[in-house]
Structure 1
Amino acid sequence: MRYMVHLHFPSSNNVAEYEVVINGLRITIKLVIQRLDVRGDPQLVIDQVTKESSCHNAKMAAYCREVHQLEDKFDGLELSHIPMHLNKVVDALAKAASGREPVPIGIFARDHHKPLVRYEKPKQASGGLNHPSAPSNPEVIELNEDPSIEPDPLADWRMPYLDYLLHEVLPTDKMDARWLVRHAKSFVLIEGELYKRSHTGIL
Structure 2
Amino acid sequence: MTHYALRFGFKASNNKAKYEALLAELRLASELGVKQLCIFRDSQLVINHVTEEYQAQDGSMSAYLAKVKKLLDDFIGYEIIQIHHIKNTKVDSLVQLASSFYIDLGRSILVEFLVSIEEYSLEVFPIGSEPTWMDPICDYLAHGVLPEDKAEAQRVQCRSSRYLIINKKLYKRGFSLPYLRCLTPNEADYVLCKC
TM exceeding 0.5: yes
Deviation at 1:14, TM superposition (A): 0.5
C-alpha contact 1:62 1:118 (8 A) present in aligned 2: no
Show the counterpart of 2:64. 63
User: Offset at 1:8?
Assistant: 1.1
> RMSD across aligned C-alpha pairs, in angstroms?
1.8
Question: Is the Cα–Cα contact under 8 Å of residues 64 and 117 in structure 2 kept in the other structure?
Answer: no
In the superposition, the TM-score normalised over structure 2's length comes to 0.56
Larger Rg: 1
In structure 2, the partner of 1:109 is 111
> What letter corresponds to residue 15 of structure 1 in structure 2?
K
Tell me by how many angstroms 1:103 deviates.
Answer: 5.7
Residues in 1 aligned to 2:104 and 2:47: alpha-carbon distance in whole angstroms: 27
> What is the aligned length?
119
Identity %: 31
Gaps spanning 5+ residues in structure 1: where?
120-203
1:115 deviates by 2.5
Residues 176-187 of structure 1: pairs in structure 2 closer than 5 A: none
Task: Indicate the structure with greater helix content.
Answer: 2
Q: Which structure 2 residue ranges, 5 or more long, are not aligned?
A: 123-195
Counterpart Cα distance in 1 of 2:95 and 2:76: 28
What are the superposed Cα offsets for residues 34-77 of structure 1, whole Å, 9 maximum, x if unpaired?
01111021111111111111111111011101111111100111
Counterpart secondary structure, 1:51 = coil
Correspondence list, 1:26-105, <5 A = 26-100=27-101, 102=103, 104-105=105-106
Give the distance between the partners of 1:20 and 1:7, measured in 2 at CA: 10
Separation (CA, whole Å) in 2 of partners of 1:42 and 1:10: 19
1:113 maps to a residue whose letter is V
Given that 1:6 and 1:100 are in contact with CA atoms closer than 8 Å, whether structure 2 keeps it comes out as: no
Structure 2: distance between partners of 1:78 and 1:48:
14
Which residue of 1 is the match for residue 3 of structure 2? Answer: 2
